[in-house]
Structure formats: structure tokens, C-alpha cells
Amino acid sequence: MDKRVIFAVAGSGKTTLLTERLTERSRTLILTHTVNNERHLRTKVISRFGFLPDGIRIMTWFEFLHGFCTRPLLQLQLGTRGLSFEQPRLKLPRSHRLHFQDKAGRIYHNRLSLLLMYRQMMPAIRARIERYFDELLIDEVQDFAGHDFNFLLELCAAKVSVLLAGDFYQHTFDTSRDGNTNGTLHEDINRYEARFRAAGLMPDRERLSKTWRCSQTVCTFISSYLNIGIEAHSLHATLIETVSDRGRAAALHQDNGVIKLFYREHHRYGCYSMNWGASKGLDHFQDVCIVLGSSHWTLFTSQTLSTLPAASRNKLYVACSRARGNITFVPETLMRPFRT
């Protein structure tokens, strides 16, 4: 059975690749991390068929872990009462119930996959996958971390076709964290790829290596300034410009046709805006305005943005790669008068 992981670049057609392999008769489980991604995938499938075929299930990661895995297999045994998104406070051995659950019986979300593995539920979970589905598709695989990543690799051993897809450099948050578990997972793409290969999945860096969304101008900027390799299918040029006067900044602030992307706290600026990382997965922006804080602006003007910490660099990559058209960079100091 074909088992592979595709490393995609932003705007390369990852969602299209996942959904176009489906038919009305597919028996397919599609998993992704966030509610927004789940909604986007569901919309794409429905727009293709006009409805959601009975054999296709689209679920968020924790919906899958809790609803498909834990409740049928462990709820009666453990008396679980949902999930807790608090961090475990007590240092207890895994044999102790409170290592995995709070006093109200809620399972700690960041130890849910560990609980299933600790209770040796993986054979039963794989059997459930094999019973109901012929293939497993995972979207935004770069966001799986902590115990969830170990669980995912074990899940992929199920006797079904497996396709994982994601962009290593769009890793902006983790499904969960628990101490040092897989704490260095996203530090090196070659070591990351090796983890999949060791689990029997064939890595593919070529199929989705070019973007349909961004111009060659934007791709060259990302490659040169952020040291993240990306190429465009189209060679058309767009503009990348900077704003240095208050009048132009004020006009951009009022322009609801251009999204303003802030590093954080976008809601405080009273305009059509989002945070860099939160724009991930969105594909409908033409021109974008990226607001840089003082330290980011210094690195930008000195062409040393690639020295940003990985988390910040990845979020900026997400922001830049939203643009189908032009990118305008503005220092946050020019937007500060509008901040509340």
C-alpha cells in the first residue's frame, strides 16, 4: 500500500491534491489540526461533489483522538469526562490516573495520544481505521508534535493507503507539547524527513515544490530574505515596496481591500487585519500589507531576516506567501497612532 509524505510549499495546491483524489465512493478519513482547516477541507469536498459523500469523514485531530479512539475504547473503563486543555500540574508516574486525567476525569489534551499508546490501544485503533476506511489523509502534518507525532507514525502502520502533506516551514504551532517530547522535531528538515522514512513513509519534495499563488517576485524575496526555498509556476512579476510616510500608512490602514498582517495583537489596530501566523491556510488575498515591529524592521532593512528565530521566521513566511499580488511592508511605528 502506498504510504508517503509530501513536503509542499505555500500555495502549491496541497488541499487540491488531497481532495481531487476522492470519489463519491471513497472510504477516506481526512485529519487536520484546526477547526479552520477542517472547515476549509469540508467546503472543498462539498464544492466538488455538491455534498459530502457518506464514506468520507473529515475530522480535527482532537475530534479523532477523543471521539474515534478514546470514547469507544476507554471511556467506560476510565470514566473519562471530556478533555482538559490545562497543563498537567502534578508530577506523577504514568501508572497513576492523575498523570493523564484531572480530578474531574477530563483527559489532558497533550497526553491523550500518550494515554492511548500507554494503554496499548494502537492495534485496536488501526483495526478500526482498516474496518471503516481504505485511505488516510493528513493535512498540515507539520503541526503535529509532542506525543501526537509519535502516535501519528504508529497510526500510519494501518493497512490502508496513507498520504501526509504539509509545509515544514509553515510550522507555526504544535498540536500539543509535553516537556521535551519531540522538542527538537522541527529544528532540521533532513532529520524530520528521516523520522517519516524510518516509519515506512516515502518522502516527496518534488511534487508540490512550486507555488501557484505567489509571483516569482515574492518567491525570490522569500528565498533571499528568509532562506526558505520556493519557486513559482508563473514568471510574472509583482511589486514589493516599503512605506515610510504617515499619509501612505494611514491610507493603507483605511483600505479594506488590503489585509494588514501584524506579528501579534492585530485587533488593537482597528483595521482589516490578522496576525501573521493566523493567516495560514487562507488563499483569497490579492495584495497584502505586512507590518513589522522595530526589531523586525531592523532585520528587514539590513536584509538579515533569515536570522529570526524559527517560529517568527515561519510566521513571516506564512504572511508573505498569502500574497497573490503585491506586498507592502510598513514599520509598526507608522501604525501605532491607530493602536488602542
- Express as a percent the part of the chain with pLDDT over 70: 100
Residue 7: CA atoms inside 13 Å, Cβ hemisphere, count? 19
pLDDT in tens, 123-177: 999 999 999 999 999 999 999 999 999 999 999 999 999 999 999 999 998 999 9
Burial class (CB in 10 A: 0-12, 13-18, 19+), 257: exposed
Q: In terms of residues, how long is the chain? A: 340
pLDDT in tens, 252-311: 999 999 999 999 999 999 999 999 999 988 888 999 999 999 999 999 999 999 999 999
> Distance between CA 11 and CA 213 in Å, rounded?
5
User: Left if phi > 0, otherwise alpha if psi is -120 to 50, otherwise beta: which for 141?
Assistant: alpha
DSSP per residue, 26-65: --EEEEESSHHHHHHHHHHHHHHHSS--TTEEEEEHHHII
339 pLDDT above the threshold of 80 = yes
Question: What's the confidence (pLDDT) of residue 91?
Answer: 83
Q: What H or E segment, with its residue span, contains residue 287?
A: none
Closest C-alpha to 259, from 288, 286, 238, 280: 288
Question: What's the confidence (pLDDT) of residue 35?
Answer: 86
17 pLDDT above the threshold of 90 = yes
Residue with the bigger pLDDT between 93 and 290: it is 290
DSSP per residue, 323-337: -SS-EEEEEHHHHGG
pLDDT in tens, 233-253: 988 899 999 999 999 999 999
90 pLDDT above the threshold of 80 = no
36 pLDDT above the threshold of 90 = no
28 pLDDT above the threshold of 90 = yes
Cβ atoms of 112 and 150 within 8 Å: the answer is no
Query: What are the φ/ψ torsions at residue 98 (nearest 5 degrees)?
Result: -75, 0
pTM value is: 0.90
Question: What's the confidence (pLDDT) of residue 173?
Answer: 86
Closest C-alpha to 276, from 202, 209, 285: 285
Distances from the Cα of 307 to the Cα of 27, 190, 273, 312, angstroms: 45, 19, 26, 10
* Section 76-97 average pLDDT: 87
Helix 71-78 crosses helix 122-132 at what angle (to 10 degrees)? 140
Closest C-alpha to 131, from 21, 272, 29: 29
